[in-house]
Structure 1
């Protein structure tokens, strides 16, 4: 079973919850730039393209052959495969989403079912908080004729 993190914006309903799987992302390994564009991760896409161009420029300046450029390109793809879901979480955090839960499931559908059924149980089983009585010295209904406890003998005016 895989772990999924649930993210939602404050004040939004259950329809806006998004789930991100923990671990390796094979689509980001095979098609890293397309995957970033499909997810709307434009800042990360620009950084990835700039890193790729920088690596190619350094490889060209140092006189590396095509084999080394291919190895460096594959290295970037492998890094993207391992870090893609964390970068997606970072992008959601930049967009104002907060992590609201962690759930386990074989696929997205099972993770959603487990998350929302657990959320319903928490909402239904949580008793309302008891009313908090006002503190004795902080009542708004004090009378000016009552003595002051810090300076006895003086009254509140």
Structure 2
């Protein structure tokens, strides 16, 4: 126990951040080695691929919890690779709809296969019972987030 009574290693935000960084960095090393993608580029590609529909940069940012400047840089890089296209909104020229190209869809499919293999590695590393417990805990945390972000939905 620390001299001041605060145990950093028991502090949930600290523990979650360490765990998330460990898990994310190991996966990032794989997609960076294979596709030379940055984390924001992967997250942008994943957001667009997982929804299967055009999205705005604002929607991508909300979906992936990224700042708009990171989304903007990622969009430019993915567009340069010809993995996505931009189309201006008919009524508001400030808004662009982002959509994966056929090449982007193919890359997303390959990356999801890589992600599935990485998920299997994590499952083997952690074990089925522990993965189930972790999933239950994360679902509880996600429900709490929804209640805090949308208090009207919590009244029911």
* Bucket of the pairwise TM-score, normalised by the shorter protein: under 0.3
The structure whose residues are more often helix, as a share, is 2
Structure showing greater Rg: 1
The two structures have a TM-score, normalised by structure 2, of: 0.23
The two structures have a TM-score, normalised by structure 1, of: 0.23
The structure whose residues are more often strand, as a share, is 1
